[in-house]
Structure 1
């Protein structure tokens, strides 16, 4: 009898945001394809993700020091680097006993560096488009690791310029897929869903409305939370909301945002820096809601202007307000066609099953087992040039 496959999977968080859910889908896919495999998972700390991971993992371990956190590095640089070095030694010893090592996101620095001594079976899933300086550092780290790279979009692959495989994220539909409530005289409903941070664009939206779009008949719902220690961002956003002519509702993180997509006419993704992928846009499509998005990064691989949503120039408040005016002026029949196109784009390219198939066929391509149901199209090989 052959020895069961052994896999270790390392992730940077334990919440239920986009990268967490994509990690969980990858884990579920490997468990489905390899029911007898030993699959160990390493997380930085306990959290809401743990109970879901426990359904598929053989064991869960914790290592909080292997993940690069900008705030922690600034506050205690020498202690942070020392802790990371010890984490690197632990990962190096650990990885020697596994057939496959999968590291999710480039901020798992200690784990990525520990892949160097492995001959094969090492994968890093790149889900970030860092700033120029950070990009050079991560680029050097990935080259040093000699791991096979998986990118979440052609935009991410193009930013790094290293050979790898592009696999677009897929999402599971949660909640009932229904059409948006018909508009007559009510304002246009816009939902901004996801982590609250400076580059996600929540503040940009409220500032643009306050200066140029005060007369626009829209309602805004912001759903998300800040990282611990960044509560000042939330206070600033709440202050801007109070000064906005439109109704703005701010609610905290939820692990099931379907009710907010059902409320909305459009999901709004106003990121001021390029989104590596744009999971919120795909979730919105799955719920039959078109998207208004900044035209950069992976969002340009999802949203087609005038077909399944609208695009505007990133961080351009005038173009943003003009785009909202286009959305407000959209006739009912045009909106229905746009919503149908959004749903079809999800079904064609962004289902969770298509993502799971692509991931498992990339990581364990030569296992000799039958393909999973609903085989996805082959993932594209990335050369660093967006396709």
Structure 2
């Protein structure tokens, strides 16, 4: 069997890691997969349905780019990590037919792959247009990668310019179990928001919209927030809770923190909120909500706009459109059960027709087969 070295910057259960778990599952049916991560928390490993042909290796010195490294000491450390990885891969290069880089946080590994004459695939989950390091990453990936896979046309417009070795492969996710989950019957229209707690993801935007919502409509709404703050910005969680209280929304917004079962809990609720201010490449949460026949309300400047037909299978809103988001929240809150269920049914059909893991697998393996 051919062998693939897979590099990923963090072992968590957020979007890019979930998608990687699905990819490893179907790659391991045809290839031996060696997964290199800085620390194995057993999270991705625990998401796998197949355990054959998969090996996990901890590599603390992976050259991950992050906010805290942009100083002289950080850059030197990053360069040293790249040199160290180069010599490791030089020793192992005879073992591998492909280097798979999941997320642009490890973009420099494409340079190592090119220097060692090993084919490389970069799976792009980020949109980094407009920054110096975004331009640097783009030029590096375009020059060095054998194949570039983008999770949406939005991402491809940044990273690959739709060159001949680039492909857009929309993510897909496994279907739910046949077991029905009882809806949360608390007398409210229940909204879920799942993701990192930080301004870029839209939690404060949501608070502003809730403050602008008429009291008679607000009284019908309950918002369930799942997720924690980024490890380097932990103070944001306490700030968010403080601002909820200051806005007088403590009876409307419930904050749970990180919950590994958050995507399953969407099944109990009526609507999923993805009001991101950053240009989300292709939010997995949108697919999870559609899979569960839930209405999705998402900002229209990222990959979500490639999925949502506003007013049919969900609602698209402008980023920072406080009045617009408030209006949509009121509209959903005042809908009849039948009206909400119709949009949810359309969302489910969108998932079934385009975004199952089987469709994702077929698209991905067909593309990979052109190069392996």
1:254 and 2:253 equivalent? no
Q: Aligned match of 1:360 in 348, 358, 365?
A: 365
Deviation at 1:143? 2.1
Partner of 1:39: 33
Relative to structure 1, the CA distance from residue 304 to residue 337 in structure 2 (aligned partners, 3 Å threshold; closer, same or farther) is same
1:194 maps to 195
Question: 1:333 Cα deviation (Å)?
Answer: 2.5
Superposed, which structure 2 residues align to 1:8-157 within 5 Å?
8-32=5-29, 34=30, 37-47=31-41, 48-52=43-47, 55-64=51-60, 65-74=62-71, 76-90=73-87, 92-93=89-90, 94-117=92-115, 119=117, 121-133=119-131, 134-157=133-156
Task: Give the whole-Å Cα distance in 1 for the aligned partners of 2:200 and 2:113.
Answer: 31
The offset of 1:236, in angstroms, is 1.0
- What is the distance in 2 between the residues matched to 1:89 and 1:171? 34
Residue matched to 2:168: 166
**1:77-110, Cα deviation, whole Å (9 max, x unpaired):** 2443343333442464144531122111111133
Match of 2:273?
Answer: 268
Q: 8 Å contact 1:15–1:49 — kept in the other structure? A: yes
State the secondary structure of the residue aligned to 1:40: strand
Q: CA–CA distance in 1 between the matches of 2:260 and 2:300?
A: 27
CA deviation digits over 1:331-381, x for unaligned, max 9? 3332221111111111111111211222222223477xxxxxxxxxxxxxx
* Structure 2: segments with no counterpart, 5+ residues: none
Residue correspondences, number: 360
Q: Distance in 2 between matches of 1:202 and 1:57?
A: 41
Would the alpha carbon gap of residues 51 and 289 (structure 1) be closer, same or farther in structure 2, given more than 3 Å must change? closer
More helix by share: 2
The aligned residue for residue 244 of structure 1 is 248
Please give the alpha-carbon distance, in whole angstroms, between the structure 1 residues aligned to 2:264 and 2:104. Answer: 32
Residues 1:329 and 2:315 are matched in the alignment: no
CA separation of 1:330 and 1:90: change in aligned 2, threshold 3 A: farther
Between 1:152-161 and 1:207-216, the stretch displaced more is 207-216
Within a 5 Å distance, the mapping from 1:290-305 to structure 2 comes to: 290-305=295-310
Distance 2:79 2:63 in 1: 10
**1:235 and 1:57, CA in 2 relative to 1: closer, same or farther beyond 3 A?**
farther
Counterpart Cα distance in 1 of 2:293 and 2:70: 41
8 Å contact from structure 1 (residues 8, 98) kept in 2: yes
Partner of 2:238: 235
List runs of 5+ in structure 1 lacking aligned partners. 368-387
